Amino acid sequence: MDSGKSINSFAPPIAENRESMERTLKKARGNVNEGKIIHGMVDKNALIYYELLLKTVPVISYDITSTMFGLDVEDIGYYKKNEYEYIILSSGMLKDRTSEFFRKQNSRVASFYKSVYSEKGVTLIKTISPTTYNQGDTFFIYKL
């Protein structure tokens, strides 16, 4: 999913399940313990946020893997092999990560985003467009 490092920014509001949150919390704890502040949002006090999230996991929730703002992606074959069910992308990331400028800087990432359109076995199943009440990017849900 085109989401950030600690929260689902740049992504639709899909609830993370317990396993997904526990992975995030474990990684955040490790970074704090090692003194690695990856970005300004994760420090010792921010761990409370993740711990509270674990106490409030909704019934309907999903195991989400962040693409770290669309920069940490694998080829489509990786996701199929590891039994991912869906890829959720935003129009903003698709546009940005396939631009000519970005392709020159990071062709591997650009190739992933372009391959979503053409890879066999990847089907667009849902488009979520902005509305008057829900503005922002358009989101695309692909089934693997």
Domain assignment of residue 64, yes or no: no
Residue found under tokens 């849900």:
141
Measured in degrees and rounded to the nearest 5, phi and psi for residue 136 equal 130, -155
In a domain, 128, yes or no: yes
Cβ atoms of residues 52 and 19 within 8 Å: no
Cα 142 from chain centroid (whole Å): 13
Q: Is 66 contained in some domain?
A: no
Q: Specify the 3-state DSSP secondary structure of 125.
A: strand
31 within a domain of the structure (yes/no): yes
Same domain, yes or no: 91 and 41: no
Would you state the pLDDT for residue 37?
A: 65
Task: Kindly report, residue by residue over 74-95, the tens digit of the pLDDT.
Answer: 999 999 999 999 999 989 889 9
Q: Do 26 and 81 belong to one domain?
A: no
Q: Confidence band (pLDDT; 50, 70, 90) for 27? A: confident
* Same-domain pairing of 42 and 94: no
Q: Are residues 96 and 133 located together in one domain of the fold?
A: yes
32 and 80 co-located in one domain: no
Looking at the structure, do residues 90 and 47 belong to the same domain, yes or no? no
The residue segments making up the domain with residue 126 are: 76-143
Q: How many domains does the chain have?
A: 2
Provide the pLDDT confidence category of residue 21 given band limits of 50, 70 and 90: confident
